[in-house]
Structure 1
Amino acid sequence: MTATSLVRLIAFLLLAAFITMPQGFAFLFEPLIAPGAPAIYNQGSLLVLTLQHLRTVCLATIASTVLAVALGIFVTRPSGAEFLPLSRSLVNIGQTFPPIAVLAIAVPLVGFGEKPTFIALFLYGLLPIFENTLTGLTQVSPLALEAARGMGMNARQRLVQVELPLALPVILAGIRLSVIISLGTATIGSTVAAKGLGEVIIAGLQSNNIAFVLQGGLVVALLAVLIHDGLGLVERVAARKLGRFLNEVP
């Protein structure tokens, strides 16, 4: 086991221990609190809030991936090339408006809770996946496509068996970026009553309890690092199976 792998394993074990048995870490946060204040977030389960946070991010990322990849495929076909500017404008909506503005617009339409947060994360996650899908598909070697045609593959078979597999590592990189953005952005969902780790941070800000703020921030940060590394590993495995590295242009 390499030193990096060991550090990741230790970080994962510490995170798992903290969200399942947070009281065991109270001594670390006691110097940060006022006399009589709780050292560990006590208005809900950190484990439940973490799972709910991840659930919202996961659902939004799946929805973003389906739409962004579908749009990327469509605009790289001859019949859809003219819709590229329109598609770019659509996926840029989430980046144009701050997530808090999307929440403000979504709440009157769908109410408080997880739904407006899902909408904000969905819109915010479209751009990196769409752009990486475009990059991956447009960089597929013409020689590979010509060879596929020579084997008698039709357009659908070339897409499924040649283009998407070759573009997969680049698409995965876009999904990884989208997930990391969503993990941090999801914390603001607690301002509209969505369950998640933002609830811990907001509770700390409202009660002037630095320990709560630090706990919420550390859990989100560790999740981001671990998920970033995990998805990066998936990308490298996919690249090796295709006989190329992520930084190579096909």
Structure 2
Amino acid sequence: MATLPNLFRLTVLAVLLAFLVQPAWFEPLLKPLVQENAPAVYNQGSLFWLTVLHLRTVFVATVAATIVAVSLAIIVTRKAGAEFLPLSRSLVNIGQTFPPVAVLALAVPIYGFGEKPTLIALFLYGLLPIFENALTGLTTLPPTVMEAARGAGMTGRQRLFRIELPLALPVILTGIRLSVVISLATATIGSTVAARTLGEVIIAGLQSNNLAFVLQGGLIVGALAVLIHDALQGLERAFAGRAHI
């Protein structure tokens, strides 16, 4: 039998999908939030495809940030790369030092309007949590396991891919989860530079003083964040259980 939290997640998912596919069904609920004759449901594009494009932007930026951040963590946890730890920390902190709006302002003159400046901002903003968690995961491995791997004659590469990364994976996934949740919300500002995200809905609502539009954009992003957060948290638990077998 599904637990109450699981039933809640399934309900949120079902309502979200229904709203994205048939938003007109929810018009009576949203009508009291708008002025007379104003549209209650976003009508300047497909909410479904805006959501798909929003998720695609977050996915691409997160994959890129994961590859770079985990690679840096691997390098600085090797004996030959330990001296680069301070430099690596400085690099991944750039995204947290500069607000995403500032990154967009700097990237638009170089790359133009569209998705690219948003990807750069999300990439930089997502590096720190993934890097720090990967670093923690790789530096807190059980010494007995590492000694056993060396005693079995494993090479450094074999230890990394067969022992270190699998054991550190739950902690790395925690960093990815944090990065994704941050990026889901931050991606909305990409619409200020013509990126196709759910920020379009919020901006349209602000420009027309339409509270229903603002609410729709915010609730969709919030629902996505809750569902993806829980899904990644479930993956963490699954891999953590495998790591302890």
Q: Aligning the two structures, in what range does the TM-score lie when normalised by the shorter sequence?
A: over 0.9
Partner Cα distance (2:23, 2:164) in 1: 47
Q: Secondary structure at the match of 2:43?
A: coil
Query: For the residues of structure 2 that align with 1:143 and 1:240, how far apart are their CA atoms?
Result: 19
Deviations 1:21-54 (A, max 9, x none): 0011000100000000000000000000000000
Partners of 2:128 and 2:108 lie apart in 1 by 23
Q: Could you tell me which residue of structure 2 aligns to residue 211 of structure 1?
A: 212
Q: CA RMSD in A?
A: 0.6
Give aligned pairs, total: 244
1:44 equivalenced with 2:57 (yes/no) = no
Alignment of 1:148-227 (within 5 A): 148-227=149-228
Aligned AA (2:188): T
Q: Deviations over 1:160-188 (max 9, x none)?
A: 11111110000000000000000000000
Q: Percent identity at matched positions? A: 68
Whether 1:53 aligns to 2:59 is: no
1:79 match: secondary structure: helix
Distance 1:20 1:140 in 2: 46
Match of 2:34 in 1: 33
Match of 1:128 in 2: 129
Kindly report structure 1 stretches of 4+ aligned residues shifted beyond 4 Å.
none
- Map residues 239-250 of structure 1 onto 2, 5 A cutoff: 239-243=240-244
Question: How far 1:143 sits from its partner (Å)?
Answer: 1.1
Gaps of 5+ in 1: 245-250
Whole-Å separation in 2 of the counterparts to 1:28 and 1:230: 29
Aligned partners of 2:29, 2:196: CA distance in 1, in Å? Answer: 25
The answer for the alignment partner of 2:99 in structure 1 is 98
Residue identity matched to 1:133: A
- 1:110 has 2:111 as partner: yes
TM-score (norm 2): 0.99
Task: Name the CA distance, whole Å, in 1 between partners of 2:234 and 2:185.
Answer: 21
Q: What is the distance in 1 between the residues matched to 2:143 and 2:227?
A: 37
Q: CA deviation at 1:142?
A: 1.3
For residue 146 of structure 1, what is the aligned residue in structure 2? 147
TM (normalized to structure 1)?
A: 0.97
**1:235 & 1:222 partners in 2: Cα distance?**
20
| Partner secondary structure for residue 42 of structure 1 | coil
Distance 1:164 1:144 in 2: 13
State how far apart, in whole Å, the 2-side matches of 1:239 and 1:142 are.
18
SS in 2 for 1:80: helix
Per the alignment, residue 247 of structure 1 pairs with none
Q: Match for residue 7 of structure 1? A: 8
CA distance, structure 1, for counterparts of residue 24 and residue 85 of structure 2: 53
Query: Which amino acid in structure 2 is aligned with residue 158 of structure 1?
Result: R
